[in-house]
Amino acid sequence: MTRHQDQFSQIKTFIFDIDGVLTDGGVSLLASGERFRTVFIRDTYAIEQALKAGFRVGIISAANADGLRSWLTSMNVKDIFMGGPSDQKMNAYLGYIARDGLNESEILYMGDDLPDYPILNRPAVLSTCPADAVTEVQAVCQYVSPNAGGRGAVRDVIEQVMKAQGKWGL
C-alpha cells in the first residue's frame, strides 16, 4: 500500500472549495449581472457515489449563488457553508468540525488558492489540490491531483479514497 493509499483509507469526510475545484474557476457574466459557472459531470457522479457509500461531503466557499446551492442540494449535500468572506474559510471549517465532532485525521480537504491555505496547512488534514492550483497551495498539499479544477480533480480524490476502502466500483 502506498503512502497515499494509507492516507486515503482513513478518510470519512470530504470538504471541497467550489471555484477552481468543483469548477474550472471561470465565471461567465450574464447581462443581468448573474454569474454562470460550469461543473464537470464526472465530479458530480463521484460526489453522489461518496454520499451513497456513507461519506460526508462538505462545501466551504466564498461563492454564494443560488444555482450552486441548488445543484449541491439536489445531490443531497447537506453541509454547505457558502457566501462568507474568503478570509473566513477557517472559521467555517472550525465551526463545521466542532458542530459535528469531526476528526481532522479523517478529513480530506481540496482547495486551489490562498484562501484555502490555512486549512490545507493543518497537519492532521489530508490536504489535496487540483493540478492547476496556485504554487503556494501545491507546495503545502500532501496530494496534487493530476486533473485540473472543474475537470476531474474531485472525481480523482473521491475515487482514490473509495478504492482504498474497497467502496468504488460497479
3-state secondary structure of 151: coil
CB 107 within 8 A of CB 97: yes
The partner residues of 129 in beta bridges, in order of sequence, read 144
Residue closest to 75 by CA, chosen among 127, 14, 19: 14
CB 10 within 8 A of CB 1: no
Annotated ligand binding at 6? The verdict is no
Half-sphere exposure of 130 (CA within 13 A, CB side): 27
Annotated ligand binding at 17? The verdict is yes
Annotated ligand binding at 87? The verdict is no
In the sheet with 107-110, reading across from the earlier edge strand, the strands are 79-82, 56-61, 13-16, 107-110, 126-129, 143-144
Q: Which residues are annotated as a binding site?
A: 17, 19, 112
Q: Which residues are annotated as a binding site for Mg(2+)?
A: 17, 112
Q: Which residues are annotated as a binding site for substrate?
A: 19
